[in-house]
Amino acid sequence: MHMGDKEILKDALSSQKFITANYNNYAGECANLQLRNQMLSILKEEHTLQSDIFNEMYNRGWYKVSPAEKQKISTAKTTYPPQPKA
């Protein structure tokens, strides 16, 4: 079966979601600070790749995003207020 651009990007985005989830877990469970910082650096790179793929799909009309309803935004702001910086 031949995969077109849409299918390739969809597969790449799915893979990036999996990869970022794993690096997030790895970074959160590192006891060694140097290793943790390296994992966080890799995680940032992977999130950038994921964002690039998402934006390409979105720009081509292959990833639809519905605007958030004002009531849902208001509820989220109440439920998850910003935390003061330590």
Residue 25 banded pLDDT, cuts 50, 70, 90: very high
CA pair distance 55, 63, nearest whole angstrom: 9
Given this model, what pLDDT does residue 1 score? Answer: 74
Confidence tier at 34 by pLDDT (50, 70, 90): very high
Does the pLDDT at position 31 exceed 90? yes
For residue 83, name the pLDDT band (cuts at 50, 70, 90).
confident
The pLDDT-based confidence of 85 (bands split at 50, 70, 90) is confident
Query: What are the C-alpha distances in Å from 3 to residues 9, 10, 56?
Result: 10, 10, 17
Residue 59 neighbours by CB under 8 Å, 6+ apart: none
Pick the more confident residue, 84 or 8: 8
pLDDT at 70: 92
Asked whether residue 21 carries a pLDDT value surpassing 90, the answer given is yes
Report the alpha-carbon distance of residue 45 to residue 40 in Å, rounded: 9
